[in-house]
Structure 1
Amino acid sequence: MEGLLDQIGQLLMGIFALAEGGFDGVNQVLGLIIAVIAAVLMASWGRLFPTALAAALIHVIITVVRPVLDGGAFALPDLLSGGFWLALFALFLGYSIVIAVFFFLKSLVFGRRHAHAH
């Protein structure tokens, strides 16, 4: 039983570390702009996770396209590596946290009527 509890504890610590890494990735200008727009467009709390996933994917797309706009070469991320998917999951967790905070603030400022519209 202790081994199972240790494994669960380590799993939770790993998820928290991923969330912290994703939060650091979102806590940049690009991430904050994406999170604010996502929170403004989000209609209800039930849309948090799909919105966070869309925000993470948009973040990845922008980071791929931005070097091309600056005159650089187009390079896709290594979609077959576990590191890419782990980084995307970390971004998803970070966006989930930041969008939730912004949506909560939106619901306080604009009231329940706007924050829970369907």
Structure 2
Amino acid sequence: MREAIAQRLDSDTPHVVTDGKPLYKGVIPTIKHDRGNHKEELKDKNWTNTYTVESAFSLFKRGIVGNYHKLSVEHLDRYLGEFCCRYNRRHQQAKLFDMALHNLANRKPSPYKDLTF
């Protein structure tokens, strides 16, 4: 874990917010690290919480297990695009069928060669 974070965390990053998992203690520099506490986050309205990102990742993980079972590297950007779309429209459940029908009727299909690179 320490190597992965060291490779991806830019030295200029001023602030890292994680959940309260003890795994991060000692891995992320203490001066930059804020550990979230969901009970306290609800009390303090000015603090940034981690609910949104946890919710988005949860939706993505459930989609992988439930829909695809396995991902291919070649299409990873498409999987992420689909789940971004799903997440951004999660409160529009009643309109989704009409939106899909409208898009099917008014857009051209993507050629197979575009889908397969």
> Normalized against structure 1, the TM-score is what?
0.30
Answer 1 or 2: higher relative contact order, Cα 8 Å, separation at least 6.
1
Which is richer in strand?
Answer: 2
> Normalized against structure 2, the TM-score is what?
0.30
**Structure possessing the higher radius of gyration over alpha carbons:** 2
